Structure 1
């Protein structure tokens, strides 16, 4: 079973009220009425409003990506580049769109969907970049210059080189690249209010669907 959210005792104390709200929402309480101030983001309202929304949308995907990256690392450190955990991280095993289904509002008989797939790595790459870009504290901040964005993009370059080394069977290069990428990732997590890599957060699977909060008929 995929985990949805850590319990309150696992929430980092520095995250405060905003993260606790996220835990409540992720636990399945999004149908309950929220205080208007909390519904708007509380302390993150206004210029910080992108942060709680991004956390609801991307935290699950990023945590799952970190979990599988760390699982892959165990095999790489042993020099086993053919371990299933390595293939699971890079293989396009996630179905984004089911194929063969009729397309709505299409006048042609051959209007059916084509199957689209992605990998855990590509999904993690996208989600972690979007999460980093959302952690802006001023409307004038430029995404490309945000420290967490620069770090996660440097990480992504190393992980792409790592895939090449794995395909080539170069164990030493794969081990070196993995160590460097892991260091980048350890710098990224605190900048987006995620727990350190040695946290229990990354010892199990996560639900990757976005979380929704509702107040009456208004949902975010």
Structure 2
């Protein structure tokens, strides 16, 4: 009953969270109020061994009526989570493989993804610390290592997945860093070409960044 009464008095409904409702009121006519979040953020992991074997998963359920295909492990970021932390977590959760984030190799943007919002999907390259697989059985039906040449040549792999793996193979990407004087690693991360991290203002990101508050 609160929202209709507030709207009658000039407020606009903006968005809700788990434990709050946010309404806004323009005190100056025509003033701009930024909209709520416009994008989802996700990340997938290209986990490659020195022998060029690629870690893949097949989810239990397909999308749009299509059967599930082999794809990169990954998922959505949690609130306050850095990209590297997110992809390490997703790889570990889905496959049981502990891997170290190295770089962002590419990303794509997709408008009209879900509930009228857009989606940004980052692709990170990771170095596995082991090859032992412990599959997340409630979401994943198959998890395996595949020679990357076989992956690229397969007719059963979506071209999108082939191209983002090629990007990881053929490019160094951009690496996680932070810029002195513009926020610390607890709240910000910058992705820069590796050669710019030279101690003259662009600083290497800590291996274990503090969580955002």
TM-score, length basis structure 2: 0.22
- Relative contact order, CA 8 A, sep 6+: which one is greater? 1
Q: Report which of the two has the higher share of strand.
A: 2
TM-score, length basis structure 1: 0.22
User: Bigger radius of gyration, 1 or 2?
Assistant: 2
